[in-house]
Amino acid sequence: MPLIDKQALLRYVLPTYGEQEQERVAAAAQMPERAGRPEPWGVLYASPNPDQSRKACANCIMWIPTGECDIHAPGVQVAGYAVCGYHVFGQPLPARVPRKDIQYVEPEYSGLMTIPGGTNCARCRWFNEADPMMLDRGLCLAVDDPSGAPAPVEAGGCCARWQSSETGR
Ligand code: SF4
Ligand code: SF4
């Protein structure tokens, strides 16, 4: 299915814009609809946690065990079994680090989600076990290698494009 319904865009959205905006949107609507799949660096792919645990806030260096995250604003609730696209494996912080002029990450853009049990490629809907003999590896159907083929990924790895293999969300 195309990402943009051009007819709906032209019929309903365009008339609400000014003349300059209308020209820009009309030009964009003529562009090809797909940009291709990203490579692993474009989705912040991370190798498996060294201790083989799944990715979760409780094993991220930005987590504060009071239930917050050092790169999300104070007051944003971050459970130990949540995770976001900025995960970095390591020891959580003992307390929020005092900083000046920090621009906090916004939860709607960091991908912050509550995922009991944590995330990894093996729990992602895009993970494909290409070779049943290679249990710790597979091919990703959402991320390409530089040749344009599905990228090889590790079952314990993860990226910002993770989607649940159970719910598809
Ligand atoms: S919200 Fe993201 S950056 Fe913050 S502790 Fe969780 S995984 Fe780490
Ligand atoms: S299988 Fe899922 S989590 Fe792993 S690299 Fe692909 S999209 Fe990302």
Would the CB of 126 count as within 6 Å of ligand 2?
Answer: yes
Note the pLDDT tens digit of each residue in 93-123.
Answer: 999 999 999 999 999 999 999 999 999 999 9
Model-level pTM? 0.79
CA of 99 to the centre of ligand 1 (A): 17
Best mutation site among 44, 59, 76, 86 for ligand 1 pocket (most ligand atoms within 8 Å of CB): 86
For position 3, what pLDDT does the model report? 44
CA of 126 to the centre of ligand 1 (A): 22
Asked if CATH classification 2.60.40 holds for the domain at 36-45+119-169, the reply, yes or no, is: no
Per domain, the residue ranges of the chain are 1-35, 36-45+119-169, 56-118
Ligand 2 atom closest to 142 (CA):
7
Note the pLDDT tens digit of each residue in 21-75.
Answer: 777 767 766 776 667 899 999 999 999 999 999 999 999 999 999 999 999 999 9
Distance CA 9, CA 33 (A): 13
Amino acid of residue 104: Y
Predicted confidence (pLDDT) at residue 84 exceeds the cutoff of 90: yes
Distance CA 169, CA 165 (A): 8
Helix, strand, or coil (residue 17): coil
